[in-house]
Amino acid sequence: MVTNLQARDAATVLHPYSNLSTLPAQGSLILERGEGVFVYDVDGKPYLEGMAGLWCNALGHGREELVQAAAEQMRKLPFAHLFTGKSHDPAIALAEKLKELAPTQAAKVFFCNSGSEANDTQVKLVWYVNNALGRPQKKKIISRIKAYHGVTVASASLTGLPNNHIDFDLPIAGIRHAACPHHYRFALDGESEEQFATRLADDLDAMIQAEGPETVAAFIAEPVMGAGGVIVPPKTYFEKIQQVLEKHDVMLIADEVICGFGRLGEWFGSTALGMKPDTISIAKQLSSSYAPIAGVIIPDWIDDALTSQSAKIGVFGHGFTYSGHPVAAAVALKTLEIYERENILGHVRSIVPHFQKRLTAFADHPLVGEARGVGLVGALEAVADKATKRSFDPKRAVAAKIVAFAEEEGLIVRAIGDAVSICPPLVITEAEIDLLFDRLGRALDRAE
Ligand code: PLP
């Protein structure tokens, strides 16, 4: 039965990323409060937050220190900007901290408000910098099929998922999509992970040659693809891909919006998976989702190119009113302080084996074709036939059913096509991991 609040919701809120034709009938799950890894709906029913919101609520709910950091900053200076001639301490301190943590040489941080804005900024920097370097033909950016980089015009173009393009008249010109490194789905018969990685690197090489290396500027990748279905690349994938990029002088952009800040047990997913990016997009866990803040970390050579171009043409015409918003920056700084003080990375490393053991045990379930994951993120892919890997008819929406049953069991997880993704808060305990997978197991059994 749809409640009054659900009816008001359906009548007034245009929901992001939803099937707009079915939402009103089913009614939204309306959440009211949270405590630790649990959230509570308006009737007081608790749910274990198995998705950390949208891959972002690392420290769980009810962190009073973060509330205090926001309140103090709001009292002191709720707003100041970073445009011409202005700055403020929270943005400066946060940029310094990020430079210290960055896994690659970092000169500066450009702040924005969302992962999409960060990746849009990346695209604009690639274009601007290549003009600055006197190679205006070197502008194309290669992303990957099933990548998720956001929904603003350039970011959605980088995203490699059909629903982000169809009828939005995207992608924009100059964006290409290389193969997805999902061995289970895309490897040839009998092809090992190593051979698959070699083939993808060879294909990328061929793609760049066909485009003309002088026209290809950048390759963008999430260390682990998140919203495309939690796709963990083969071990040697990035090493091989990077050899191709180096050969053709193509820069590497790491989209660390999900993997950054501990998801894989390192500050950055790049470190965990052997990526050596030129620039990095960050968001989500940067503030543990308590305030919207994101950024792009750039090295000296990009900073120098931007500065010399600005010397020629004047104002660097890019920036958001809320770039480095002082309240969000203060919350992010406090978040990073908590990660260090509470050794959250150490905690993640200590619980990952248990998380992965419980996750991969589902490979034996009759509905599950692949149970995959790394660090504290994973997915179960439902298949109609385990032997042939045949997918279910999309109309059956099996993953969505599992997610709905999980919700009834008191667990929030997320359907991505045929996969059910799991990405709990980093602070989750072993006992809570057991609760999560016990509930998920019951949901799977009910969906059989
Ligand atoms: N990049 C990645 C890897 C993401 O997972 C997301 C969002 O899930 C984005 C970019 C877009 O971030 P936002 O939704 O904050 O715009």
Give CA 103 to chain center in angstroms: 17
Same domain for 366 and 250, yes or no, is no
Indicate if the pLDDT at residue 354 is higher than 90: yes
| Structure confidence by residue, pLDDT tens digits, 36-88 | 999 999 999 999 999 999 999 999 999 999 999 999 999 999 999 999 999 99
Q: Are residues 157 and 203 in the same domain?
A: yes
Question: pLDDT digits over 205-221, tens only?
Answer: 999 999 999 999 999 99
Which atom belonging to ligand 1 lies closest to the Cα atom of 116?
16
Same domain, 58 and 162: no
Do 151 and 255 sit in the same domain of this protein? yes
Same-domain pairing of 295 and 201: yes
**Could you tell me if 385 and 336 lie in one domain?**
no
User: In this model, does residue 178 exceed pLDDT 70?
Assistant: yes
Cα separation, 38 vs 60, whole angstroms: 8
Report the share of the chain in percent with pLDDT over 70: 100
Mutate to test the pocket of ligand 1, among 257, 268, 296, 421 (most ligand atoms within 8 A of CB): 257
Query: What local confidence, expressed as pLDDT, does residue 303 receive?
Result: 98
Interstrand relation of 414-416 and 419-422 (parallel, antiparallel or unpaired): antiparallel
- Residue 103 has a pLDDT of 97
| Structural domains of the chain, count | 2
Whether 238 and 368 map to the same domain: the answer is: no
Whole-angstrom Cα distance, residue 117 to residue 293? 10
Q: What is the mean pLDDT of residues 233-248?
A: 98
Cα separation, 299 vs 232, in Å, equals 27
Q: How confident is the model at residue 21 (pLDDT cuts 50, 70, 90)?
A: confident
Residue list, ligand 1 pocket, CB within 6 Å: 54, 114-116, 119, 148-150, 222, 226-227, 255, 257-258, 283
Residue 375 shares a structural domain with residue 414: yes
- Taking only the tens place, the pLDDT of each residue in 280-300 is 999 999 999 999 999 999 999
∠ CA 426-432-437, nearest 5°, is 100
Same domain, 127 and 13: no
Q: What would the pLDDT profile of 304-352 be if each residue is shown by its tens digit?
A: 999 999 999 999 999 999 999 999 999 999 999 999 999 999 999 999 9
> What mean pLDDT do residues 430-441 have?
98
Average pLDDT for 191-201? 98
**What is the domain-level CATH number for residue 17?**
3.90.1150.10
| Atom 13 in ligand 1: residue holding the nearest Cα | 115
Peptide bond into 171 cis (omega under 30): yes
Which of 113, 231, 284 to mutate to test ligand 1, by most ligand atoms within 8 A of the CB atom? 284
Residue 149 alpha carbon to ligand 1 centre in Å: 5
Q: Which one, of 327, 190, 178, 353, lies nearest residue 265 by Cα?
A: 353
Could you tell me if 280 and 102 are in contact, meaning their C-beta atoms sit under 8 angstroms apart? yes
Q: How far is the CA of 278 from the centre of ligand 1 (A)?
A: 19
pLDDT of residue 220: 99
pLDDT in tens, 88-117: 999 999 999 999 999 999 999 999 999 999
Of 314, 341, 368, the one marking the end of a domain is 341
Domain boundary, last residue among 311, 341, 371: 341
Q: Which atom of ligand 1 is nearest to the CA of 227?
A: 5
Inform me whether the pLDDT recorded for 272 exceeds 80: yes
Query: What rounded mean pLDDT belongs to the chain?
Result: 97
Instruction: Report residue 251's pLDDT band, with 50, 70 and 90 as the boundaries.
Output: very high
Which residues, at least 6 apart from 414, have a Cβ–Cβ distance to it below 8 Å? 51, 403, 420, 421, 423
pLDDT band at 1 (very low <50, low <70, confident <90, very high): confident
Residues 276 and 365 in one domain: no
CATH number for 284:
3.40.640.10
Same structural domain for residues 322 and 352?
Answer: no
pTM score over 0.90:
yes
The reported pLDDT for the residue numbered 448 is 84
Do 278 and 209 fall into the same domain? yes
Is the sign of the CA dihedral 153, 159, 161, 162 positive or negative? positive
Task: Report which ligand 1 atom has the smallest distance to the Cα of 283.
Answer: 15
Distance CA 298, CA 277 (A): 10
Residue in the block written with tokens 């804005």: 117
pLDDT at residue 24, as a whole number = 64
Domain end among 285, 308, 341: 341
Q: Which atom of ligand 1 is closest in space to residue 259's alpha carbon? A: 3
- Which residue range forms the structural domain that includes residue 134? 67-341
Closest to 384 (Cα-Cα) out of 348, 334, 429, 418: 418
Q: How far is the CA of 311 from the centre of ligand 1 (A)?
A: 33
Which of 54, 119, 149, 280 to mutate for ligand 1's pocket (most ligand atoms within 8 Å of CB)? Answer: 149
0.85 surpassed by complex ipTM: yes
